[in-house]
């Protein structure tokens, strides 16, 4: 009897002690990240069978269990990976959001200044200060494009750094998880059935959670207590105690970019980058490929468009010294990078042929052994380029040329037509006089004319190249208006007998008269023998016709197949980045709130509540005290028994 009493009390005290220890463990780890609260499981001992029935024998501690809900934990993991992805994407976007739309620092005010200055030149074409103002404004605009592009480059470099540190974090987590896998496996195997090393499990779960913040990983639980981790489309990161790490390597198609490769025992294997989703790493990759590079391309396209259109218009004019205008800006050439795995050894160059047709996408030139094709990466549209490498047709405003060697089947080239646009724009002139404000020709009526005919000053026909005879002096002489139809004769003034042309046309008032690359029109009724001339516009310091056209480029839809002005195309970029950032503002906040909700639920199950633990402390204390009291009573009873024998 005594034995039973003592035994039961002792088991009660021992169970209470376990309870107290576990409660203290819970209190101590209340702030530990990833900790799940533990409780002591007890069961009554098998009762002793007597003739009177079963008599209880006390309590057994059957285990210490962590309160863990696998469903909630898995959900939390996924949501955290997504939240971490959105937050990182959002942070990255914020970097360029303000940069491009800043009223002081964006490219838009700089372009406005440039055109304001060109208007100034149009108002005072002979004024050197006006022209100098244009040169300064153009320099400012060039600097703006370059410095925004420089900022993009800095951000891209920053992302390379982030990728490196993220990859090393992933490898480190994977390493620790593998170590814990081994420890857990051995601890589970060596202990009795169903007893788990709770704290190691917590630690591993916490590491998985941290890993998921970096990249989305799939967990596969094994019966021996270990877990296998997979990333991307099923690449193993951790299997049992083995780690297959990642490594940041230079992109085969663009040496300025770091990409992720899979490291199998020292052998590097490429991974499809778009498969690395979620987490910080996924955010950096997506941000770089879907926002940063397209933004750079869009900015480049505006710069290219501005430079090219102004260059062309300037070439159609005459500068202050009476010389045909040249380029105002230098332009960045398309970026071409051969794939690292190319075997043909061919060199490819690319050139812009029509800025209006340019898109903001990147392209891939492919060769399948027979035909060449161009893949537009933004929408995967393929254009067939035929089979002749010497005459590859232009696609979307640019053209590739095979300079040396030949392509082998399967060779590819990455072509980024506008990526260098903003970094490559420069000012080609420094002399104010080089702005071609005048038009190379002018129409004039002879003073001796008797009729009422008037001639326009004339315009140069688009597009370039200019007609070599543009400035050939030409005379237009009219016949008798009484003889219908009245006609006019066009002659070369300097050499009428060797004219290159001699033309007689019926006269229709106001109709365009086009020769040698110019167009004039004559209105009114010229009298017999009235003469009009189209001659080189010498000494035309006051002519602003070409400057007006240059200034007018501002409001012309010259980009995106004639749908956008320079500033509108830039505005689209600002709107795109703004909208995307705004979207991230909202979704990342929503995701964070969702994580908090799930975390609340998960913590509701697994988290430590200090009040509860305080109550448990009291509960186990009282239980201990009660068991001790029972033992005291047993002791007293035993004493009574001994006294009987005295």
Partner 1 sequence: MRISTNTMYDSNIAVMTQQQQRMLQLQQQVSTGRKFITPADDPVAAAQALSLSQSSAVNTQYSANRGAARHTMSLTESILQSATSVLQDVRETAIAAGNGALGVNDRQMIANALTGKLQALMGLANSTDGIGNFLFAGFQSKTQPFIDTPAGVAYAGDDGQRLIQVNASRQIPSSESGADIFMRVKNGNGTFAVQAGNVNTGLPNGGTGVATVGNVTNATLLTGNNYQVEFFDDGVGGLTYNVTDLATFTTPLGGSGPYVAGQAISFDGMQFSISGTPVAGDGFTVSPSSNESVFKTMSDMIASLNNPAPGFGGRLAYSINQIDRALDNVLTSRSSVGVRLNELDALDVSGEDLGVQYQQSLSALQDVDYAKVLSDLSQQQIYLQAAQKSFAKVMGMSLFDYL
Binding to partner 1, residues 88-107 (CB under 8 A): 93-94, 97-98, 100-101, 103
Nearest in space to 11 (alpha carbons), one of 40, 47, 42, 55 = 42
Give the one residue of 477, 581, 588, 598 binding partner 1; rule: CB under 8 A. 581
Q: CB nearer to partner 1: give 193 or 321.
A: 321
Among 44, 462, 511, 596, contact with partner 1 (rule: CB under 8 A)? 596
With beta carbons less than 8 A apart as the criterion, state whether 402 and 387 touch: no
Residue 80 as a binder of partner 1 (CB under 8 A): the answer is: no
Which range of residues in 15-23, 177-185, 340-348, 576-584 is near partner 1 by CB under 8 A?
576-584
| Residue 621 CB-density burial (10 A; 0-12 exposed, 13-18 middle, 19+ buried) | middle
Contacts of residue 404, defined as CB under 8 A and 6 or more positions apart, other chains included, come to 346, 347
- Considering the rule CB under 8 A, would residue 482 count as an interface residue with partner 1? yes
Yes or no: say if 216 and 230 are a contact pair by the CB < 8 Å rule.
no
* Size of the chain, expressed as the number of residues it contains: 646
Half-sphere exposure of 339 (CA within 13 A, CB side): 16
- Main-chain dihedrals φ then ψ at residue 317, nearest 5 degrees: -115, -175
Q: How far is the CB of 37 from partner 1 (least distance, A)?
A: 8
Span of 136-144, 193-201, 506-514, 582-590 interacting with partner 1 by CB under 8 A: 582-590
From 1, 2, 28, 30, residue interacting with partner 1 (rule: CB under 8 A): 30
Cβ nearer to partner 1, comparing 1 with 450: 450
Q: Which stretch binds partner 1 (CB under 8 A): 159-167, 205-213, 483-491, 596-604?
A: 596-604
Distance from the Cα of residue 409 to its chain's centroid: 31
Contact code string over 39-78 relative to partner 1, x by CB under 8 A: ----------------------------------------
Which positions from 384 through 443 interact with partner 1, judged by CB under 8 A?
A: 438, 442-443
Question: To the nearest whole angstrom, how small is the minimum distance from the Cβ of residue 555 to partner 1?
Answer: 7
162: Cβ contacts below 8 Å, ≥ 6 apart: 280, 284
**Rounded CA separation 17/13 (Å):** 6
Query: Is 86 a residue that touches partner 1 (CB under 8 A)?
Result: no
| Beta carbon nearer to partner 1, 615 or 633 | 615
Helical segments of 393-464, H only = 421-424
Pattern of binders to partner 1 over 248-267, x per CB under 8 A?
A: --------------------
125 or 338: CB nearest partner 1: 125
CB of 318 to partner 1, least distance (A): 10
Closer to partner 1 by CB, 208 or 608: give it: 608
Q: Which is nearer to partner 1, 101 or 285 (CB)?
A: 101
Query: What minimum distance in Å lies between the beta carbon of 606 and partner 1?
Result: 8
x/- letters, 603..622, toward partner 1 (CB under 8 A): xxxxxxxxxx-xx-xx----
Number of residues that bind partner 1 (CB under 8 A): 84
Nearer to partner 1, 46 or 555 (CB): 555
DSSP 480-526: -TTSSSPEEEEEESS-TTS-S--EEEE--TT-EEEETTEEEEEES-P
In the complex with partner 1, the residue whose CB is nearer, 408 or 615, is: 615
Do residues 26 and 38 touch, judged by C-beta distance below 8 A? yes
- Residue 455 or 474: the one with the smaller Cβ distance to partner 1 is 455
HSE of 629, CA atoms in CB hemisphere, 13 A: 6
Out of 179, 249, 599, 626, the residue judged to bind partner 1 by CB under 8 A: 599
- Residue closer to partner 1 by CB (options 365, 564) is 564
The smaller minimum CB distance to partner 1, of residues 277 and 486, is found at 486
Sheet of 267-270: strand order equals 246-250, 258-264, 267-270
Q: How far is the CB of 433 from partner 1 (least distance, A)?
A: 12
Least Å distance between CB 334 and partner 1?
28
Q: Which is nearer to partner 1, 184 or 286 (CB)?
A: 286
| CB-based contacts of 483, cutoff 8 Å, min separation 6 | none
Q: Which of 577, 623, 630, 634 binds partner 1 (CB under 8 A)?
A: 577
Q: Which stretch binds partner 1 (CB under 8 A): 17-25, 149-157, 594-602, 626-634?
A: 594-602
Show contacts with partner 1 in window 215-244 (CB under 8 A).
none
Nearer to partner 1 by Cβ, of 32 and 330: the residue is 32
Contacts to partner 1 from residues 114-133, by CB under 8 A? 115-116, 119-120, 122-127
* Three-state SS sequence of 83-144: HHHHHHHHHHHHHHHHHHHCCCCCHHHHHHHHHHHHHHHHHCCCCHHHHHHHHHHHHHHHHH
**Contact region with partner 1 (CB under 8 A), list: 134-142, 192-200, 268-276, 579-587:** 579-587
Name the residue among 75, 90, 84 with its Cα closest to residue 215: 84
* Nearer residue to partner 1 within complex by CB, 35 or 244: 35
- Given a contact cutoff of 8 angstroms between Cβ atoms, the answer to whether 372 and 412 are in contact is no
Residue from the set 39, 195, 568, 594 that interacts with partner 1 by CB under 8 A: 568
How far is 549 from 461, CA to CA, in rounded Å?
12
Cβ 528 to partner 1 shortest distance, Å = 7
Select from 50, 43, 44, 58 the least CA-distant residue to 8.
58
* DSSP E strand stretches across 134-284: 217-221, 227-231, 235-239, 242-243, 246-250, 258-264, 267-270
**Minimum separation from the CB atom of position 455 to partner 1 (A):** 7
Q: Are 333 and 350 in contact (CB under 8 A)?
A: yes
| Full 3-state SS string of 144-155 | HHHHHHHHHHHH
**H-helix segments, 400-461:** 421-424
Positions 442 through 471 that interact with partner 1 (CB under 8 A): 442-445, 447-450, 455, 457
H or E stretch covering 324: none
Give the nearer residue to partner 1 in terms of CB position, either 216 or 475: 475
Q: Which of residues 338-377 bind partner 1 (CB under 8 A)?
A: none
d(CA 526, CA 532) in angstroms, rounded, equals: 10
Q: Is the peptide bond before 326 cis (omega within 30 degrees of 0)?
A: no
Cα separation, 232 vs 279, in Å, equals 12
Q: Which of residues 524-553 bind partner 1 (CB under 8 A)?
A: 527-528, 537-545, 548, 551-552
In the complex with partner 1, the residue whose CB is nearer, 175 or 541, is 541
d(CA 630, CA 633) in angstroms, rounded, equals 5
């Amino acid at each position: 009897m005594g034995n039973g009493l003592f035994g039961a009390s002792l088991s009660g005290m021992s169970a209470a002690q376990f309870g107290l220890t576990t409660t203290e463990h819970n209190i101590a780890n209340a702030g530990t990240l990833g900790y799940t609260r533990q409780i002591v499981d007890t069961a009554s001992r098998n009762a002793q069978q007597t003739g009177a029935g079963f008599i209880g024998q006390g309590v057994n501690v059957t285990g210490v269990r962590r309160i863990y809900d696998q469903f909630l934990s898995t959900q939390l993991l996924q949501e955290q990976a997504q939240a971490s992805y959105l937050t990182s994407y959002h942070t990255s976007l914020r970097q360029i959001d303000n940069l491009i739309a800043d009223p002081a620092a964006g490219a838009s005010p700089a372009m406005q200044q440039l055109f304001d200055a060109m208007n100034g030149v149009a108002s005072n074409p002979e004024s050197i200060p006006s022209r100098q103002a244009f040169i300064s404004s153009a320099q400012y605009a060039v600097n703006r494009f370059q410095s925004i592009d420089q900022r993009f480059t800095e951000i891209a470099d920053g992302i390379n750094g982030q990728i490196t540190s993220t990859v090393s974090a992933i490898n480190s987590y994977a390493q620790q998880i593998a170590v814990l896998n081994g420890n857990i496996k051995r601890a589970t195997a060596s202990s009795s059935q169903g007893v788990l090393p709770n704290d190691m499990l917590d630690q591993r779960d916490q590491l998985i959670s941290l890993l998921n913040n970096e990249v989305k990983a799939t967990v596969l639980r094994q019966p021996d207590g270990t877990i296998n981790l997979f990333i991307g489309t099923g690449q193993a990161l951790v299997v049992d105690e083995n780690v297959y790490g990642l490594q940041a390597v230079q992109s085969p198609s663009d040496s300025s970019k770091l990409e992720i490769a899979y490291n199998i025992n020292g052998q590097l294997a490429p991974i499809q980058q778009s498969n690395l989703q979620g987490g910080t790493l996924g955010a950096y990759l997506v941000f770089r490929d879907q926002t940063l590079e397209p933004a750079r391309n869009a900015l480049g396209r505006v710069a290219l468009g501005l430079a090219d259109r102004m260059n062309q218009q300037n070439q159609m004019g005459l500068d202050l010294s009476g010389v045909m205008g040249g380029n105002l800006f230098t332009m960045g050439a398309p970026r071409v990078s051969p794939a690292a795995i190319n075997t043909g050894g061919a060199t490819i160059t690319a050139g812009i042929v029509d800025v209006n047709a340019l898109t903001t996408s990147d392209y891939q030139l492919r060769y399948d052994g027979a035909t060449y094709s161009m893949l537009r990466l933004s929408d995967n549209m393929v254009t067939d380029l035929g089979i002749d490498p010497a005459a590859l047709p232009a696609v979307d405003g640019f053209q590739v040329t095979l300079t040396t060697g030949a392509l082998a089947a399967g060779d590819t080239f990455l072509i980024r037509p506008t990526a260098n646009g903003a970094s490559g724009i420069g000012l080609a002139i420094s002399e104010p006089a080089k702005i071609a404000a005048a038009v190379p020709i002018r129409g004039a009526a002879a003073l001796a004319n008797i009729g009422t005919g008037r001639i326009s000053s004339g315009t140069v026909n688009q597009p370039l190249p200019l007609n070599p005879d543009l400035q050939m002096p030409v005379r237009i002489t009219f016949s008798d208006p009484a003889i219908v139809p009245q006609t006019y004769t066009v002659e070369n003034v300097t050499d009428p007998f060797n004219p290159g042309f001699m033309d007689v046309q019926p006269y229709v008032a106001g109709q365009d008269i086009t020769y040698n690359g110019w167009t004039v029109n004559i209105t009114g009724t010229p009298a017999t023998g009235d003469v009009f001339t189209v001659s080189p516009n010498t000494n035309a310091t006051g002519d602003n016709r070409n400057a007006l056209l240059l200034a007018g480029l501002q409001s012309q839809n010259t980009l995106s197949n004639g749908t956008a002005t320079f500033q509108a195309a830039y505005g689209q970029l600002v709107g795109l980045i703004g909208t995307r950032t705004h979207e991230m503002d909202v979704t990342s906040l929503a995701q964070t709130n969702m994580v908090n909700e799930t975390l609340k639920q998960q913590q509701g199950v697994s988290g430590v509540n200090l009040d509860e633990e305080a109550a448990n402390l009291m509960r186990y204390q009282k239980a201990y005290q009660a068991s001790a009291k029972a033992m005291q009573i047993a002791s007293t009873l035993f004493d009574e028994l001994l006294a009987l024998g005295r």
